[in-house]
Amino acid sequence: MLLSEIARASTEVAAEPGRKAKVSALAGVLRAAGPRDAAVVVAYLSGELPQRQIGVGYASLRDLPAAAREPSLTVAEVHAAFSEIRAVSGAGSVARRRELVHAVFARATLAEQQFLVRLLSGELRQGALDGVMTDAVATAAGVPLAEVRRAVMLRGALGPVAAAALADEADGGGVPALRGFTLEVGRPVRPMLAASAPSVAEALGKIDGPAAVEWKLDGVRAQIHVRGGEVRVFTRTLDEITDRLPEVTGVLGALPVQDAVFDGELIALREDGRPHPFQITAARTATRTRKEGPQVPLSLFLFDVLRLDGVDLLDHPDAERHAALAGAVPAELLMPRTVTADVAEAEAVFADAVARGHEGVVVKSPATPYAAGRRGAGWIKVKPRHTLDLVVLAVEWGHGRRRGFLSNLHLGARDPETGGFVMLGKTFKGLTDELLAWQTEKLRDLAVEEDSYTVRVRPELVVEIAFDGLQTSPRYPAGLALRFARVLRYRPDKKAEDADTIDTVRALAPVID
C-alpha cells in the first residue's frame, strides 16, 4: 500500500466531524491495506509508531529535502526505514539517523511529508482514537464489534488484531482468528478502569444489591504475571517494571500457585501506614535501573485476579474472582474490602480510607466481569474532592519570581468524537519550585510552536487537576470552565488517551455547580 493513500485518508478523517463518518473512512482504507499492512496502518492512523519511539522529534524535522513529484513510497518501506532508524546507536548516530530520515523524506510527496512530520512530532490528531479505530476494524472485516474488542483486550494491541480480522477465514482469519487470542501469562492486557461518582450514596445507587467497597490508593497500578515462581510486573500502560521491584517479585514468587495474573496497586507507605507523597511511589516505579543503597520499599495491595492455576477468570463475576484471589494470597496482600448495601456502612469505609490518607474508595458490583481496557459501569470510584486527569495543550511563560519558567498551563479534556482536546481553562496554582523546573524542561521537549508569551505543545502530558466546581463560560469551546483549578501532580503512568473526556466533565457539571 502506498503511503499517499494513508496521508489522504488522514486528511479525510480529520475533516469528518462525526464518529460514523470517521469509522467509514477508516474502514475503507483498512480494507485496501489488507492483513499485510493493517497493523502499521492502524498505528499510523492512530498517530502512533509500531516502534513507539525512533529518536526523531520535531527539532529533527527541519531543513527537509525537496518533495518528490509522484508517490512511490510504500507503507512497508516506511516501516522498515523507521525500524532501521530506531536501531541506530553509538558514535555518529545523530548524523546517521538524520541521513536515514532525509532518505525517506526525499522519496515522499509534499502531502506525504506533511503527514510524516505530524506523525513523528506527535501532532497527528484526526480523531482515530482506539474506540473509533476498533469500530473501523470491525466494519472493514465484517466481524462483530464484540469479537474485536475482546481480542484487543486479550492481545493488548489493536494492530495484530486488525491483521487477524482482515485475513480471509479460509486462511485462518476473521472470527476464528480473533477467538484465537487468549489471556497469556507474561503478556499484559489493558486494565479495567472505573467510572466516577460524586458520592458513595450515588455509587451504591448504580449497583443492584450489595456492593464491594474497596480502598482507592494513591499509588501505581500493577498487573502481575506469575508462572512457576517467575514474576513479571507491568504498569497500566503495559510497560514492564519487574527489575525495579525486588521486594514485590520476592513475595509473589513464593506463592503456591501454578500460574496467575493479578491486578493491584503499588504504594510507598510510612511506618504509621499512611502513604508517602505519590512522587515517591512514582520515582520507584519509574527508575530504569536499580539504584545502590536503601530505597523506600513499596507495598502491594491486590484486588483482582484474571487467571489462576490454568483457569481464565475474566468472564467470571467479581465476587467469584475475589474469592479465588482471597484463597490464593495471604490476607496482608489483599486490598481492604467491605461488602454492603448499607449507605452508612459504605460511607464509614470511605471516611476511614480518607482518614488514613488514601484517595477514597472504589464501589464494585459483585456481578461484573473484568472489562479489560474499558471503563466498566461495574466499578465506580469516589473521591472526597473533585479531580480530573487533563492534558496540557500549551503553557505560558511566568512572570516575577517565575520568570524563565513555563508556568500557566492550558488544560484540555479528551473529545472521543473528534480525537482532539477541548480546553477547559488555565492554572498556575499548586506548582512547587521543583515542579516548575521539571515541567519547564518537559514541556520544552514537547514544544511544537512558540512565541514570546506562549508555548504550544504536543498533547501528551497528563496532569491531575483539583478544582472547586464548573462554571459556564463563553471563552471556551465546551461552554464550561474549571473554577479554582490547581495542580495536584503529573501522571507519567497515564497516556493522553487515558485522560478524562469532555463527556465526563459535562456529566459532573449539574452535580458540582
* pLDDT tens-digit series, residues 126-154: 555 667 889 999 999 999 998 998 898 88
Q: What secondary structure letter does DSSP report for 493?
A: T
Average pLDDT over residues 277-286: 84
Same domain, 38 and 139: yes
Q: Is 132 found in the same domain as 80?
A: yes
What percent of the chain shows pLDDT beyond 90? 62
Using a cut of 0.95, tell me whether the model's pTM lies above it: no
186 falls within a domain: no
Of the listed 216, 381, 383, 426, which one is catalytic?
216
Q: Give 506 or 286, the one with higher predicted confidence.
A: 506
- The pLDDT assigned to 339 comes to 97
- Res. 274 pLDDT band, cuts 50 70 90: very high
pLDDT of the residue at 196: 84
DSSP 8-state assignment for residue 255: S
CATH label of the domain that carries residue 235: 3.30.470.30
Same domain for 352 and 281: yes
| Confidence at residue 293, expressed as pLDDT on a 0 to 100 scale | 52
217 falls within a domain: yes
Mean pLDDT (the chain) is 89
Q: What are the pLDDT digits (tens) for 189-211?
A: 888 999 888 899 999 999 999 99
185 lies in a domain? no
Residues 459 and 317 in one domain: no
Residue 6 clears pLDDT 50, i.e. is over it: yes
Which residue would you say has higher pLDDT here, 399 or 167?
A: 167
User: Is residue 410 in some structural domain?
Assistant: yes
| Nearest alpha-carbon partner for 382 in 353, 415, 345, 341 | 353
* Each residue's pLDDT tens digit, 354-370: 999 998 999 999 999 99
Confidence label for 95 from pLDDT (cuts 50, 70 and 90): confident
Residue 58 has pLDDT above 70, yes or no: no
| Poorest-pLDDT segment among 142-156, 177-191, 273-287, 455-469 | 273-287
Domain boundary among 178, 203, 231: 178
Q: How many CB atoms lie within 10 A of CB 173?
A: 19
Q: Which of 183-197, 262-276, 415-429: highest mean pLDDT?
A: 262-276
Cβ-proximal residues to 396 (8 Å cutoff; 6+ apart), any chain: 406, 407, 408, 410, 426, 453, 454, 455
pLDDT of residue 126: 57
Please tell me the least confidently modeled range out of 44-53, 68-77, 121-130, 171-180: 121-130
Is there a single domain that holds both residue 414 and residue 468?
Answer: yes
| Per-residue model confidence (pLDDT) at position 94 | 85
- Domain annotation covers residue 299: yes
Confidence of residue 462 (pLDDT cuts 50, 70, 90): very high
Q: Is residue 512 scored above 50 in pLDDT? A: no
CATH number, domain containing residue 476? 2.40.50.140
pLDDT of residue 421: 93
Instruction: Indicate whether 50 pLDDT > 60.
Output: yes
Domain that holds residue 303: 193-382
What pLDDT does 403 receive?
Answer: 87
Q: What is the pLDDT, as a whole number, of residue 292? A: 55
* CA–CA separation, 76 and 393 (whole Å): 32
Specify the pairing of strand 337-340 against strand 469-472.
Answer: unpaired
What is the reported pLDDT for 511? 46
Are both 33 and 111 inside the same structural domain? yes
Residue 513 reports pLDDT greater than 50: no
Q: How many CB atoms lie within 10 A of CB 149?
A: 22
Same domain for 408 and 368? no
C-alpha cell at 441: 524542561
- Residue at 184 is within a domain: no
Q: Mean pLDDT over residues 299-307, rounded?
A: 97
Task: Determine the number of helices (DSSP H) and then strands (DSSP E) in the chain.
Answer: 16, 19
The verdict on whether 216 is a catalytic residue reads yes
Same domain? For 375 and 402 the reply is no
Mean pLDDT (whole number) for 255-276: 94
Tell me the CA distances in angstroms from 205 to 293, 339, 341, 349, 363, one per residue in order: 49, 14, 9, 16, 10
Is residue 354 located within the same domain as residue 213? Answer: yes
Count structural domains, the chain: 3
Which of 47-51, 235-239, 343-347 shows the highest mean pLDDT? 343-347
> Which residue is associated with the grid cell 487515558?
498
Question: Do 14 and 124 contact (CB within 8 A), yes or no?
Answer: no
Q: Residue 87 falls within a domain, yes or no?
A: yes
Residues 6+ apart with CB under 8 A from 429: 484, 485, 486, 487
Direct distance between the N- and C-terminal alpha carbons of the chain, in angstroms, rounded to an integer:
52
Structural domain contains residue 187? no
Residues 508 and 401 placed together within one structural domain of the fold: yes
User: Quick one: 308 and 451 in the same domain?
Assistant: no
Q: Are residues 306 and 210 in the same domain?
A: yes
Closest CA to 1 of 71, 108, 75: 75
Phi/psi of residue 108, nearest 5 degrees: -95, 140
Q: What is the mean pLDDT of residues 438-462?
A: 92
Last residue of a domain, one of 366, 382, 398: 382
Reduce the DSSP state of residue 173 to 3 states and report it: coil
Taking CA atoms, 401 is separated from 84, 290, 347, 404, 426, in Å, by 46, 36, 43, 9, 19
E strands present in 403-475:
406-414, 421-427, 447-450, 454-457, 462-466, 469-472
Among 178, 207, 239, which residue terminates a domain?
178
For residues 195 and 504, what is the distance between their CA atoms, to the nearest angstrom?
9
What gap in Å lies between CA 349 and CA 213, rounded to an integer?
7
